[in-house]
Amino acid sequence: MSGRVEQFAGLVAQQPENGLFRFSLAQALIAAGRPADAVPHLEFCIQQKADWMLPRILLGKHLLATGQPAVAKPILEDALRLALTQDHQDPAEELQALLHAI
């Protein structure tokens, strides 16, 4: 395991209900080339916070990359809604492009 994965895995083990630790672990897992291991942490973040856009984007991208566009589409649509509501223009443009390609 990379140092960041180990660091955040330890923090999640100590505080499993901490969404920020889980999101950081998910990002570290993705960076380490282990996106499938990040999925439960991203799902936790999505369930924990209804207006958290980034976990939805990362999960949707993973689902697209693993050939699951039908599962990814509603997650990415939700992320796009949040991006527009929260005035995040760059993510909104990226999400529109991803959804257009589905």
Domain boundaries, the chain: 1-49, 50-102
d(CA 36, CA 64): 12
The tens digit of pLDDT for each residue in 20-50 reads: 999 999 999 999 999 999 999 999 999 999 9
Q: Where are the alpha helices (DSSP H) in the chain?
A: 3-14, 19-31, 35-48, 53-65, 69-85, 89-101
**pLDDT of res. 1:** 56
pTM of the model: 0.93
pLDDT digits (tens, 9 = 90+) for 3-15: 999 999 999 999 9
At 53-82, the pLDDT tens digits run 999 999 999 999 999 999 999 999 999 999
- The answer to whether residues 52 and 46 touch, using CB atoms and an 8 Å cutoff, is yes
Q: Is 52 left (phi over 0), alpha (psi -120 to 50) or beta?
A: beta
Query: How many residues comprise the chain?
Result: 102
Contact 98, 74 (CB under 8 A): no
